[in-house]
Amino acid sequence: MAGHDEDVVLIEVLSEEAFENFHLPEAINIPLSADDFDERVQQAAQKEDQVVVYCKDFECDASPRAAARLDELGYTDVLDYAAGKDDWRAAGFPVE
pTM summary value? 0.92
Query: What is the domain count for the chain?
Result: 1
Q: How confident is the model at residue 1 (pLDDT cuts 50, 70, 90)?
A: very low
Mean pLDDT, range 63-70, rounded to an integer: 98
Residue 21 belongs to domain spanning: 8-90
Residue 6: per-residue pLDDT: 61
Residue 4: per-residue pLDDT: 45
Residue 9: per-residue pLDDT: 98
Q: Is residue 95 part of a domain?
A: no
The secondary structure element, H or E, covering residue 50 is strand 50-54
Helices (H) and strands (E) in the chain, counts: 4, 4
Q: Is residue 96 part of a domain?
A: no
Q: Is residue 17 part of a domain?
A: yes
Which of 45-60 are b and which e, b meaning 16 or more Cβ less than 10 Å from the residue's Cβ? beeebbbbbbbbeeeb
Question: Does the pLDDT of residue 86 top 90, yes or no?
Answer: yes
Q: Is residue 28 part of a domain?
A: yes
pLDDT tens per residue, range 15-66: 999 999 999 999 999 999 999 999 999 999 999 999 999 999 999 999 999 9
Q: Is residue 3 part of a domain?
A: no
- Coil, strand or helix at 11: strand
Facing residues of 29 across strands?
12
CA distances (Å), origin 58, targets 51, 55, 86:
19, 8, 9
CATH number of the domain to which 78 belongs: 3.40.250.10
Mean pLDDT, range 8-13, rounded to an integer: 98
